[in-house]
């Protein structure tokens, strides 16, 4: 136990943490890629599939009603947890990537022109770059990059200078998946709004690690992925302000997103969120995501954040004792992500050897190639923490690294 945080009890809720990998107890340090699942999430999905699976919003029978209630209950859980103003502002998507593509394909296509400018930070994940690049190649708008300082924080002077270009949209990640930097989403949003821009926040790495209050941030769009929040893959959400969602054209066409379809008069569309949820959604995923959020709430996001911060500080201290090791991402406000390189060793060689010792880390560019290019490095080794990680996990990483480095040098 550290303080009141009973990490041993938390670990018991994650069956996967009992397994061995390559003969060693699993040390899972890759939660930024995808978090492991507590029993309540696994059970919720099993319970739904075993007892009340049905399509939703379409049937009058008992199973359809129960499935619809559970699905809409999950939407309510997301709305309440993230403090959206109403359930209609929460659109189920396949994940953060899907949500950003939705905004680009609807709001972006309807509102950006050849003379528009879109700002984004150098920290962005490809998911918050490429959909805008694809649209820019079609429409012809300009993309401008907000520069960062070497420790991984946004250069506010550069941001203000770029805001003077009167951008239509500013895109930034709430937390960097590669460096761990926590951006001040409220401040960045307010500056963007003062300049007349809309704001798209990529919350994929913030939602699992801190309390996020959407009305307080006041951004226009926010996306997150269920699988990083201890929930299933293939489900996530897009938050959008109601007035914007009302005005946006639909995205994918199909069942459920319409009000009326005709060959004779124009087809009309449903209200948000259904306007953006064509086809049968990932019902079990949405319901289990609701369970995952309730699980995070039961531990307390502030407790998870404090625990992960303590692990991060400890990892920095211990790792920096290794000769030739450099940490990328040293912002004062940092989430549980530690990216590093060891002089003379390729990150993927280190990652492979660490795996042989039971340690799961991610290596490579972490879908942030422009950031890696800026640092002039091929990638990093990244250890990332979840609610279930321990100080022993950090010690195991350091010991395995020392062994691996000896083998590689
Ligand atoms: N980052 C990582 O290892 P999806 O794949 O849609 O669930 O999430 C995409 C995404 C968007 N934004 C940020 C900041 C992210 O970190 C991710 C996913 C994983 O860092 C996989 S590349």
Q: Is 289 in the pocket of ligand 1 (CB under 6 A)?
A: no
d(CA 330, CA 200): 25
Place 2 in a pLDDT band, splitting at 50, 70 and 90.
low
End-to-end CA distance of the chain: 37
391-408 helix and 347-356 helix, angle to the nearest 10 degrees: 120
Indicate if 367 belongs to the active site: yes
d(CA 112, CA 169): 9
Task: List the domains of the chain with CATH numbers.
Answer: 7-30+300-408 (3.90.1150.10), 42-298 (3.40.640.10)
* Tokens of residue 204, six digits: 């994929």
- E strands, 167-220, in order: 169-173, 198-202
Ligand 1 closest atom vs CA 98: 6
**Which of 28, 182, 205, 339 best tests ligand 1's pocket when mutated (most atoms within 8 Å of CB)?**
205
The whole model's pTM is what? Answer: 0.98
Instruction: Give pLDDT tens digits for 229-274.
Output: 999 999 999 999 999 999 999 999 999 999 999 999 999 999 999 9
Residue with tokens 């087809």: 267
Q: Residue 3 has what pLDDT?
A: 63
Task: Report yes or no: 147 and 158 within 8 Å, Cβ to Cβ.
Answer: yes
Task: Report yes or no: 237 and 80 within 8 Å, Cβ to Cβ.
Answer: no
Instruction: Give pLDDT tens digits for 120-152.
Output: 999 999 999 999 999 999 999 999 999 999 999
Instruction: Count CA atoms closer than 13 A to 289's CA, side-chain side.
Output: 33
- Quote the ligand 1 centre to 98 CA distance (angstroms): 11
Q: How far is CA 53 from CA 61, 110, 116, 282, in A?
A: 12, 37, 46, 11
Q: Is 64 in the pocket of ligand 1 (CB under 6 A)?
A: no
Task: Report yes or no: 176 and 328 within 8 Å, Cβ to Cβ.
Answer: no
Q: How far is CA 371 from CA 253, 307, 337, 361, 403, in A?
A: 36, 28, 15, 19, 29
| 396 contacts: CB under 8 Å, gap ≥ 6 | 27, 358, 359
Q: Is 202 in the pocket of ligand 1 (CB under 6 A)?
A: yes
Say which of 170, 223, 248, 367 is annotated catalytic: 367
Q: Is 32 in the pocket of ligand 1 (CB under 6 A)?
A: yes
Residue with tokens 């340690």: 359
Instruction: Give pLDDT tens digits for 333-356.
Output: 999 999 999 999 999 999 999 999
CA angle 250, 256, 257 (to 5 degrees): 10
Query: What does the DSSP 8-state code read for residue 227?
Result: G
């Amino acid at each position: 136990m550290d303080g009141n945080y009973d990490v041993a009890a938390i670990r018991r809720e994650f069956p996967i943490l009992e397994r061995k990998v390559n003969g060693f107890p699993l040390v899972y340090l890759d939660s930024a890629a995808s978090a492991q699942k507590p029993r309540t999430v696994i059970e919720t999905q099993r319970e739904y599939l075993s007892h009340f699976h049905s399509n939703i919003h379409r049937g009058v029978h008992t199973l359809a009603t129960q499935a619809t209630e559970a699905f809409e209950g999950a939407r309510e859980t997301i709305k309440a947890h993230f403090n959206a103003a109403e359930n209609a502002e929460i659109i189920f998507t396949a994940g953060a990537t899907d949500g950003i593509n939705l905004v680009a394909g609807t709001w972006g296509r309807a509102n950006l022109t050849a003379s528009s400018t879109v700002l984004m930070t150098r920290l962005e994940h490809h998911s918050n770059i490429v959909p805008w690049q694809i649209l820019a190649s079609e429409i012809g708008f300009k993309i401008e990059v907000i520069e960062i300082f070497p420790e991984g924080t946004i250069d506010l002077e550069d941001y203000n200078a770029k805001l003077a270009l009167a951008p239509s949209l500013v895109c930034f990640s709430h937390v960097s998946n590669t460096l761990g930097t926590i951006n001040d989403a409220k401040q960045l949003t307010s500056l963007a709004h003062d300049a007349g821009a809309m704001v798209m926040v990529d919350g994929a790495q913030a939602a699992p690690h801190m309390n996020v209050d959407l009305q307080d941030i006041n951004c226009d769009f926010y996306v997150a992925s269920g699988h990083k929040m201890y929930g299933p893959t293939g489900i996530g959400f897009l938050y959008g302000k109601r007035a914007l969602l009302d005005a946006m054209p639909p995205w994918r066409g199909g069942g459920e997103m319409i009000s009326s379809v005709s060959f004779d008069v124009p087809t009309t569309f449903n209200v948000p969120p259904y306007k953006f949820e064509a086809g049968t959604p990932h019902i079990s995923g949405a319901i289990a995501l609701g369970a995952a959020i309730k699980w995070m709430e039961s531990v307390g996001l502030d407790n998870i954040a404090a625990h992960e911060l303590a692990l991060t500080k400890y990892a920095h201290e211990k790792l920096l004792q290794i000769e030739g090791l450099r940490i990328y991402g040293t912002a004062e406000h940092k989430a549980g992500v530690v990216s590093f390189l060891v002089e003379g060793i390729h990150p993927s060689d280190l990652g492979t050897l660490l795996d042989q010792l039971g340690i799961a880390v991610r290596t490579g560019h972490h879908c942030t190639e422009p950031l890696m290019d800026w640092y002039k490095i091929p990638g990093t080794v990244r250890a990332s923490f979840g609610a279930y990680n321990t100080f022993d996990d950090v010690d195991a990483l350091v010991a395995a690294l020392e062994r691996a480095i000896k083998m590689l040098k």
